[in-house]
Amino acid sequence: MGPLSSPAREPPQPEEERQLRISESGQFSDRLEDRGLLESSTRLKPHEAQNYRKKALWVSWFSIIVTLALAVAAFTVSVMRYSASAFGFAFDAILDVLSSAIVLWRYSNAAAVHSAHREYIACVILGVIFLLSSICIVVKAIHDLSTRLLPEVDDFLFTVSILSGILCSILAVLKFMLGKVLTSRALITDGFNSLVGGVMGFSILLSAEVFKHNTAVWYLDGSIGVLIGLTIFAYGVKLLIDMVPRMRQTRHYEMFE
């Protein structure tokens, strides 16, 4: 009788295979970051990367123009109608203008389309802006709640809310799609900010309509402002925690300068 053969290794189970792929993908991404590159450098051909970079620039310019116009309108509504959520949206629209400007800087250099360091610098700046903006939004909303400011409702408020909600939601979808293709956290963050703007636009409409039918719910407008401000603050903190260490790790790869 021959020597006992060792038992054959069982093939990996589907769950084990999935975990293995995730682990390998994470290690591969880490190796790319060690070289100062984003994962998009292996996914896209050079001409594809430049094509998506130009699309990101066009979307950013369009976002700046649209959100700047909406910010002026929303600030007007906030002052005339004492709306905390309108003020919150206007502030978020200004934040959207700044974040889109940062994305413009991020992709202004064709040679740096896959630069991890440039990406992380943009994200850190966005994180700081998010924190400052959220503090202003929350302070204004709490002030309005404490003084029991009652919002007024008119056609102008309705129009601004609808336009804000629709346009910002469309911009958010475009930025999310481009951010996924370019593996850009900065673009995705810009998309998140546009999404918040869309939610705020619809929330202005919601709180105004509720107040019109039930004046006892005067606090809804300010409460939404507080909630959105805290959401932006949490996102900004998470962004800084994730990106500051990565920015330091890739500071030697400033080839785009």
Report the distance separating Cα 188 and Cα 103, nearest Å.
10
pLDDT in tens, 50-105: 898 999 999 999 999 998 998 888 788 778 777 666 676 677 778 889 989 999 99
Domain assignment of residue 25, yes or no:
no
Q: Which residues span the domain enclosing 163?
A: 35-249
Q: 151-156: long-range contacts (C-beta < 8 A, 24 or more apart)?
A: 151/81, 151/82, 151/83, 151/84, 151/86, 151/207, 151/208, 151/211, 151/218, 151/221, 152/80, 152/81, 152/82, 153/81, 153/208, 153/209, 153/211, 153/212, 154/81, 156/76, 156/77, 156/80
Question: Within a domain: residue 5?
Answer: no
Instruction: Please tell me the total count of domains within the chain.
Output: 1
User: Domain for residue 181, yes or no?
Assistant: yes
CATH, residue 230: 1.20.1510
pTM of the model: 0.77
Q: Does residue 256 contact residue 112 with C-beta atoms inside 8 Å?
A: yes
Question: Which stretch of DSSP H or E encloses residue 157?
Answer: helix 155-181
The answer to whether residue 86 sits within a structural domain is yes
- On whether residue 23 sits in a domain, the answer given is no
Q: SS3 breakdown of the chain: % helix, strand, coil, rounded to 5?
A: 80, 0, 20
CA distance linking residue 236 with residue 87, whole number of Å: 19
Tens digits of residue pLDDT in 7-65: 555 555 655 555 555 444 444 445 555 456 677 767 778 888 889 899 999 999 999 99
Cα 211 to Cα 192: distance, rounded to the nearest angstrom: 28
